[in-house]
Chain A
Amino acid sequence: MKKFLCMFLCMVLAMQALTGCGGKKTGENGVVYVYNWGEYIDPETISMFEEETGITVIYDEFDTNEAMLPKVEAGASKYDVICPSDYMIDKMIQKGLLAELNFDNMPNAKKNIGAQYYEQSKGFDPENKYSVPYCWGTVGILYNKTMVTEPVDSWSILWDEKYQDNILMQDSVRDLFMVALKLNGHSMNSTNKEELEAAKNKLIEQKQKSLVQAYVIDEVRDKMIGNEAAIGVIYSGEAIFTQRQNPDLEYVIPKEGTNVWIDSWVICKNGENKENAEKFIDFMCRGDIALMNFEYITYSTPNTEAQRLIEDEDIRNSKIAFPNLDDYENLEVFRYLGEEADAMYNAYWKEVFSN
């Protein structure tokens, strides 16, 4: 045993020596702390930024908005640039965590990001003062053409008993209730008790009839590719990837309307490198850089310059990647509804799941 331990320890130490001590030196022009979703940027673009500006990027990743917030709020570490989603930006604005942006320092952000995306952003950032859109998409139905032969255009198919045990629903509170609220013709930002009650009953009905195979978050991608289920609620960014893997899959935006989600760059009030932060955001808005990121992430980019530069015609004209938002009705972005409404949603969510 001792021998094993010794050998093991030697290996660990050898690895340490082999890779040398990590830890970046501070660049000549200071640093910028960036906090982003995992796998949400082409690492190459970060190196390019460092080279061109002499600013060192200290890059960190989170897996959910909710895991990011307590860290930023408590001030455990001082981040400069963060990339939260719509409703979380709303919440952070209300909590006074974000700094106003100076668009004069960010010509690319002004020029390259499409006006319709700033328009959508007003749902959570009414004066477009705090955020610059980075990625966006819709939520819709992904179905398998070999298992679903009828035309799909409505959320109501998720309540069709033909597809018992064949439906994948989103697990998170707001995404789950969005489907039922939209189906009932209500706003997905509703705080009306009766509307939520109705949505809850709809979801309980769906669960009790065992229509739902599983409530999933990210596994929906692999399950749909593997033909595990006929229908799944999915983010449009994933839809393109799944379709490439399994050509039987088709994505639709239901006629009752849906969620348009936007992940945007924001700057933290307690960050110490605001100037560098603006440089970073502006760099990410450059057409060529946005294109690199689009190709790496495959989530739709709001960068019109990048959209123009896409070489693959199929993708450039893809209705999934770049739907014309004017073609659809009742599109909304999530807003932060306040603590009371959150508690109400959560209570109803618990009721759905304990049935």
Chain B
Amino acid sequence: MIRTGLKRIYIGLIFLFLYAPIFTLIVLSFNASKTRAKWEGFSFKWYISLFENEAIIQALQNTLMIAFLSALIATVLGTMACISLQSMKRKTRAVLIGITNIPMLNAEIVTGISLMLLFISLGVTFGFTTILLAHITFNIPYVILSVMPRMKQLNPSTYEAALDLGASQLQAFFKVVFPDILPGIISGFFMAFTMSLDDFIITHFTKGPGIDTLSTKIYTEVRKGIKPEMYSLSTIIFVTVLVLMLLVNYTPKKK
């Protein structure tokens, strides 16, 4: 009893830690003042001006598209890589994973500028595609790092057993291996999605004129003060996702 109590308190504290700044942002989104340093009363005005702001809505759309596509492609590439890496020698594997980890370590500006130079030399027009390619690149290590541990836990004989029982390779993979590594794949996808949402520097160097993501909008606003519309947008995103999650989690399941 005491132990479950302690566990609850522990989880509660961690959640408080993770969500405290989020609640701060939500409160700020209702602040009538333009600065975060002062409370000037409750107001919905930032929500109204948010919906009038075409640029922000456009940026939101770009952000979601890029985050979704880059996370999806990175997840597919990364998972495929994990499957084949597992059949390689230990050292080859370590070297390959090491190489994919490089974009994670390099200061973002190094990755950003070197990708920009690459795209220039390839003669690609800067725009949506270049941002997408760059995001996939820095997302791959996050996918591999979350799928790999599950891969290692995998029992190779079940896959072979499936093959022996007459399943095709594809069938064996999707029936036996895939369900086992799925949690790793899902968390890899979400990590990749998250990294993509947040990136500023690499996006800055790989984007073309006229295309913005929320991050590039927010960072360029810093000099003049971040517009409170961004707080209200964050609040809307947060509440929407939360509601979605709860809906999915608590709808009765049909078997």
Contacts and interface: CB of A to CB of B under 8 A. Distances in A.
In the complex, A touching B, CB below 8 Å? yes
A35 B35 contact: no
B227 interface: yes
A75 B208 CA distance: 11
Nearest to A1: B186
B245 interface: yes
Contacts of B240: 11
Contact of A19 (B58, B209, B245): B58
Interface in B157-205: 186, 204-205
Given A24-B210, A59-B209, A60-B209, A246 B38 contact: yes
Given A67-B204, A77-B126, A37 B220 contact: yes
B126 A76 contact: yes
B64 interface: yes
A337 B207 CA distance: 30
B55 interface: yes
Interface string B200-225: 00001100111010001101111111
A245 interface: yes
A225 interface: yes
Contacts of A43: 55
Given A62-B220, A63-B220, A76-B119, A225 B225 contact: no
B126 A37 contact: no
A79 B212 CA distance: 16
Contacts of A60: 209-210
B220 A222 contact: no
Nearest to A222: B37
A19 B117 contact: no
Interface string A54-70: 00001111110001001
A173 B222 CA distance: 19
A251 interface: no
Contacts of B65: 12, 16
Nearest to A242: B35
Nearest to B117: A74
Nearest to B37: A226
Interface string A1-42: 101100111011001100100101000000001010111100
A221 B38 CA distance: 12
A61 B224 CA distance: 12
Interface in B7-37: 33-37
Given A76-B116, A77-B126, A39 B209 contact: no
Most chain B beta-carbon neighbours within 10 Å: one of A1, A75, A223: A1
A43 B221 CA distance: 14
A218 B209 contact: no
Contacts of A11: 240, 244
A316 interface: no
A297 interface: yes
Nearest to A37: B223
Given A218-B225, A221-B225, A19 B57 contact: yes
A79 B58 contact: no
B248 interface: yes
Most chain B beta-carbon neighbours within 10 Å: one of A61, A62, A218, A223: A61
Contacts of B205: 70-71, 76
Contacts of B220: 37-39, 61-63
B209 A33 contact: yes
B210 A3 contact: no
Most chain A beta-carbon neighbours within 10 Å: one of B57, B113, B212, B224: B224
Contacts of A9: 68
Contacts of A15: 60-61, 64
Contacts of B251: 3
Nearest to A34: B209
B224 A297 contact: yes
A234 to B, nearest CB: 12
A308 to B, nearest CB: 25
| Top-5 shortest CB links A-B | A38-B220, A226-B37, A60-B209, A39-B224, A225-B37
6 contacts: A15-B61, A58-B209, A58-B210, A59-B209, A77-B126, A222-B37
Interface of B: 33-38, 55, 57-58, 60-61, 64-65, 68, 113, 116-117, 119-120, 126, 186, 204-205, 208-210, 212, 216-217, 219-225, 227, 240-241, 244-245, 247-248, 251
Interface of A: 1, 3-4, 7-9, 11-12, 15-16, 19, 22, 24, 33, 35, 37-40, 43, 58-63, 67, 70-71, 74-77, 79, 217-218, 221-223, 225-226, 228, 241, 245-246, 297
